[in-house]
A and B are shown apart, each in its own frame.
Chain A
């Protein structure tokens, strides 16, 4: 078989970036105690809105900004439903996904088959020319580095800032946080919108860089995998990178096997990323004691200030 390790590693980073972005956003949402299952919906809305904006302005950067705004706008629907109207978070998240898939198909009507403007590679003082390290690490577009930077920022925020402490406190015990006078609902809405904009950018990365074009339902479960990766990471930011790149690796490997005529029907190889996700979930959840220690204690619970 003819698979170059270097190009494999370089492409796996690209394949992992959309999921890393979405998972980073969801991590913050879940840390605040909210389970938003609408990542898939927000991603695909980001994918189409970013695509439309980039095609019409000929600027990928504007595409990503619009995608972030669109993702945040959609997440606001979820926020209103779950935070003000006390709707069940699981059902609302599903609604968001179903709605997002439909709306994106409607918006994207007439955009299939178009090529988006290409995202320029970052310039690292010629380091891209280095052997091995160059193509793997220094030959990517801006968003790849942004996604890693975002993980760093989120880690710093959660670990070292007062805002991060308050966010964790709200996710840990919303009654106690409320009793101390923190605005549980306001904090959660902000977290949800951050999650929405990250998912939006992740989606746009799919349509603008990874694929790059628009097709209906193109996220193909990426949002759900991002959710699984948050569990895999045990709600720790750095582990998101590991999880996303592991997933990216599996995806790229099976695509390479397909391309190289590996002796197995394509459809079975395509199952691999989903099966790996399941396996990873199983491994990370099996120790109930540890799992419940890591997960934010108020995750998914409805908060209504009774006093």
Chain B
């Protein structure tokens, strides 16, 4: 019989090893999935993991990886603080949308003002939009004890409907033949978030994300705030003993993750997406949850996990076009990854023991 035996200290080796194990397991089971879909598994796995980085068209894909990784990492960084503290914001998708709408609307209201202040103002308003949207579950949790998981998730659907209302109403492009979409930010230089070096995919959002990774790393390893976040998650009563107010923790963690998601939304809508449309939300807010866990809620881990997840996104596009596999297959792949990670995670705090039954 295999038994789990608690370790006295979490295994540092396993902390690093488990995400790799999870990726390998996903490749194996994913390969089997491709076989059942009638495809060559080795070819498919190569297209997902290798081609985006080193394949024939990698020069184009590499940029795409950064474009997709940046919002995932930025959102996941914000979520990781809350997840560590046991505060579950799973409505980042909604905060992402609201950041894009509020920041985008700010820019569109100023059209065609040509001032250097426009874009920074939009970034601030985007972050504020996400922040305020996240403060709804925070307030309801603090004041009325309402479950933040359900409230933040419900607000995703509200935000999505709000976006539709906006692009079919006030924010609809007046010169756009009644299409449900806003004016393009490409046509509004002061509000545009362009690629900084052609072909690299790097835009301001990518650089900002990098900055946040460093900042988050310092906070979590050196600052008392990061310590309190960990404490609140591991031992909530000990956190109260230390003087950490649970309500403040809820407000800060939800607010922070909302602000980062909102800012990511703003960078996305003014850059890669280019305009507000009904198909603007791509599920980054949900995938970022996987990224946060895969990165072990650690800033450096999240950076790597975000890049990996972006690779699978790009790889997913490749298999979609070359093997004519449905887009959803990559979603299954990502879901599996999270499953395997949660499964092998047990090895961090437990060791496996094969025990014999002595007495019967």
A292 to chain B: closest residue by CB: B145
Q: Known: A101-B331, A106-B326, A267-B164. Is A281-B147 also a contact (CB below 8 A)?
A: yes
CB distance A95 to B145 under 8 Å? no
- Chain B's interface size range is 35 or more
CB distance A91 to B158 under 8 Å? no
Contact residues in B for A105 (Cβ distance below 8 Å)? 326-328, 331
**A94 CB contact (under 8 Å) in B90, B145, B150:** B90
**A85 CB contact (under 8 Å) in B153, B286, B327, B342:** B342
Within 8 A of A (CB), among B306-360: 326-336, 338-339, 342-343, 345-346, 349-350
> At the interface with chain B, which of A144-152, A205-213, A271-279?
A271-279
Contact residues in A for B333 (Cβ distance below 8 Å)? 102
Quick check: is B20 within 8 A (CB to CB) of the other chain? Answer: no
CB distance B145 to A102 under 8 Å? no
What sequence of 0s and 1s flags, for each residue 65-108 of chain A, a beta carbon within 8 Å of any chain B beta carbon? 00000000000010011000111101110110011111111100
| Separation of A220 and B153 alpha carbons in the complex (Å) | 11
What sequence of 0s and 1s flags, for each residue 171-187 of chain A, a beta carbon within 8 Å of any chain B beta carbon? 00000000000000000
B141 to chain A: closest residue by CB: A285
Quick check: is B185 within 8 A (CB to CB) of the other chain? Answer: no
CB distance A85 to B343 under 8 Å? yes
CB distance B140 to A274 under 8 Å? no
| Separation of A94 and B88 alpha carbons in the complex (Å) | 11
Quick check: is A166 within 8 A (CB to CB) of the other chain? Answer: no
CB distance B151 to A278 under 8 Å? yes
Quick check: is B134 within 8 A (CB to CB) of the other chain? Answer: no
| Minimum Cβ distance to chain B for residue A123 (Å) | 38
Interface of A is mostly: helix
Quick check: is A198 within 8 A (CB to CB) of the other chain? Answer: no
CB distance A231 to B150 under 8 Å? yes
Quick check: is A4 within 8 A (CB to CB) of the other chain? Answer: no
| Minimum Cβ distance to chain B for residue A223 (Å) | 10
Contact residues in B for A94 (Cβ distance below 8 Å)? 90, 289, 338
Interface centre among B157, B338, B342 (most CB of A within 10 A): B342
**A224 CB contact (under 8 Å) in B150, B169, B336:** B150
Quick check: is A270 within 8 A (CB to CB) of the other chain? Answer: yes
CB distance A277 to B162 under 8 Å? no
CB distance A228 to B150 under 8 Å? yes
Contact residues in B for A92 (Cβ distance below 8 Å)? 342
Question: What's the tally of chain A residues with a CB closer than 8 Å to chain B?
Answer: 49
A273 to chain B: closest residue by CB: B157
Within 8 A of B (CB), among A219-239: 220-221, 224-225, 227-228, 231
B347 to chain A: closest residue by CB: A85
CB distance B336 to A106 under 8 Å? no
Quick check: is A293 within 8 A (CB to CB) of the other chain? Answer: no
B326 to chain A: closest residue by CB: A109
B344 to chain A: closest residue by CB: A85
B331 to chain A: closest residue by CB: A102
B165 to chain A: closest residue by CB: A267
Contact residues in A for B293 (Cβ distance below 8 Å)? 91
CB distance A85 to B290 under 8 Å? no
A93 to chain B: closest residue by CB: B149
| Separation of A86 and B3 alpha carbons in the complex (Å) | 12
| Separation of A278 and B165 alpha carbons in the complex (Å) | 20
Quick check: is A126 within 8 A (CB to CB) of the other chain? Answer: no
| Separation of A286 and B142 alpha carbons in the complex (Å) | 10
| Separation of A86 and B327 alpha carbons in the complex (Å) | 32
| Separation of A103 and B327 alpha carbons in the complex (Å) | 11
Contact residues in A for B154 (Cβ distance below 8 Å)? 221, 224-225, 228, 274-275, 277-278
**A102 CB contact (under 8 Å) in B149, B157, B332, B345:** B332
CB distance A274 to B157 under 8 Å? yes
| Separation of A132 and B338 alpha carbons in the complex (Å) | 51
Quick check: is A288 within 8 A (CB to CB) of the other chain? Answer: yes
Quick check: is A141 within 8 A (CB to CB) of the other chain? Answer: no
CB distance A281 to B151 under 8 Å? yes
CB distance B145 to A288 under 8 Å? yes
CB distance B289 to A98 under 8 Å? yes
Contact residues in A for B164 (Cβ distance below 8 Å)? 267
| Minimum Cβ distance to chain B for residue A228 (Å) | 5
Quick check: is B207 within 8 A (CB to CB) of the other chain? Answer: no
| Separation of A265 and B140 alpha carbons in the complex (Å) | 27
CB distance A224 to B153 under 8 Å? yes
Interface centre among A90, A227, A282 (most CB of B within 10 A): A282
Q: Known: A85-B346, A87-B345. Is A270-B161 also a contact (CB below 8 A)?
A: yes
Quick check: is A291 within 8 A (CB to CB) of the other chain? Answer: yes
| Separation of A86 and B344 alpha carbons in the complex (Å) | 10
Quick check: is A115 within 8 A (CB to CB) of the other chain? Answer: no
| Minimum Cβ distance to chain A for residue B153 (Å) | 5
| Minimum Cβ distance to chain A for residue B241 (Å) | 20
| Separation of A278 and B156 alpha carbons in the complex (Å) | 12
B157 to chain A: closest residue by CB: A274
What sequence of 0s and 1s flags, for each residue 130-161 of chain B, a beta carbon within 8 Å of any chain A beta carbon? 00000000001000111101110111111001
| Minimum Cβ distance to chain A for residue B155 (Å) | 7
Quick check: is A160 within 8 A (CB to CB) of the other chain? Answer: no
Contact residues in B for A268 (Cβ distance below 8 Å)? 161-162, 165
A109 to chain B: closest residue by CB: B326
Question: Can you list 9 A-B contacts with CB-CB less than 8 angstroms, sorted by A residue number?
Answer: A102-B330, A104-B328, A106-B326, A221-B157, A271-B162, A274-B158, A278-B150, A278-B154, A288-B145
> B-side interface residues toward A, CB under 8 Å?
4, 6, 88, 90, 140, 144-147, 149-151, 153-158, 161-162, 164-165, 168-169, 286, 289-290, 293, 326-336, 338-339, 342-343, 345-346, 349-350
> A-side interface residues toward B, CB under 8 Å?
37, 77, 80-81, 85-88, 90-92, 94-95, 98-106, 109, 216, 220-221, 224-225, 227-228, 231, 265, 267-268, 270-271, 274-275, 277-278, 281-283, 285-286, 288, 291, 304, 306
